[in-house]
């Protein structure tokens, strides 16, 4: 079964990211895929000092090791980003920067959200540049969620009809690329190191 890792986009006490991750995980499962969750609030990494790979194997702090295991086990990554001052939230970027080879060769989808009408697309455009640099080709579609507080209830339930269909198409596209990448990696190995 295709395993899609949802990476949560913020850590504020009053954050909307929890409902976005819940919504996406539910749609991933509804599509017949496995959803796992990587939440910077759970991992609580410090501002970047040492990357995971700088630790001798077996000596990384337990939360960092757990995050590495989640990333390595994923077939695809769905980054669900808020938009802070037209950019990527620092907690999300800090979490991602702790890892490199662990992300390699995993197709990535970018979901984004905001309180405003643009749905976080300016942060998504930054992720379009960052994720490929980390070895993750991003799929063509985006999933922007504008006015997120109205679009999703606290438990992650969609409050607008268009959102479920849009999420399902987006996730199906990501799963297609994940299957293709997994099959090709099994046939010919990884395209570059990692
Ligand atoms: C530091 C900060 C910067 C923000 N900058 C933007 C922005 O550039 N564009 C926007 O549409 N919303 C912006 N907002 C509003 C967010 O879209 C809204 O608070 C959203 O819920 C943030 O995601 P979070 O709740 O998961 O932290 C900003 C919010 C914060 C806290």
The 3 state secondary structure assigned to 134-165 is CCCCEEEEEEEECCHHHHECCCCCECCHHHHH
Single pTM value for the model: 0.97
The Cα 25–Cα 36 span in angstroms is 7
The Cα 14–Cα 141 span in angstroms is 28
How far does residue 112's CA lie from ligand 1's centre (Å)?
A: 11
Does the Cβ of 21 fall within 6 Å of ligand 1? no
How far does residue 84's CA lie from ligand 1's centre (Å)?
A: 5
**Residue 140: Cβ-neighbour burial (10 angstroms; 0-12, 13-18, 19+):** exposed
How many other C-beta atoms can be found within 10 angstroms of the C-beta atom of residue 168? Answer: 14
Average pLDDT, the chain: 97
The Cα 50–Cα 58 span in angstroms is 14
The Cα 45–Cα 42 span in angstroms is 9
- Say how far residue 185 (Cα) sits from the centre of its chain: 21
Q: Is domain 3-188 classified as CATH 3.90.380.10?
A: no
How far does residue 179's CA lie from ligand 1's centre (Å)?
A: 33
How far does residue 15's CA lie from ligand 1's centre (Å)?
A: 9
pLDDT digits (tens, 9 = 90+) for 71-115: 999 999 999 999 999 999 999 999 999 999 999 999 999 999 999
CA–CA distances in Å: residue 146 to residues 20, 22, 143: 11, 16, 10
pLDDT digits (tens, 9 = 90+) for 134-165: 999 999 999 999 999 999 999 999 999 999 99
CA 149 to ligand 1: nearest atom? 21
Does the Cβ of 59 fall within 6 Å of ligand 1? no
């Amino acid at each position: 079964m295709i395993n899609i890792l949802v990476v949560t986009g913020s850590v504020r006490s009053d954050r909307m990211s929890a409902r976005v991750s819940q919504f996406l995980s539910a749609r991933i499962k509804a599509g017949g895929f496995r959803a796992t969750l990587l939440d910077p609030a759970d991992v609580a990494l410090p501002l970047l000092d040492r990357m995971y790979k700088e630790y001798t194997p077996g000596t990384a702090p337990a939360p960092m090791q757990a995050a590495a295991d989640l990333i390595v086990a994923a077939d695809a990554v769905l980054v669900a980003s808020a938009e802070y001052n037209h950019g990527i939230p620092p907690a999300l970027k800090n979490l991602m920067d702790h890892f490199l080879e662990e992300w390699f060769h995993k197709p990535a989808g970018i979901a984004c959200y905001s309180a405003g009408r643009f749905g976080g697309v300016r942060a998504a455009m930054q992720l379009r540049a960052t994720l490929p640099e980390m070895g993750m080709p991003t799929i063509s579609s985006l999933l922007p969620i504008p006015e997120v507080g109205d679009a999703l209830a606290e438990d992650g339930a969609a409050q607008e009809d268009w959102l479920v269909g849009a999420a399902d198409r987006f996730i199906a596209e990501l799963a297609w690329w994940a299957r293709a990448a997994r099959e090709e990696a099994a046939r010919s190995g990884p395209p570059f190191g990692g």
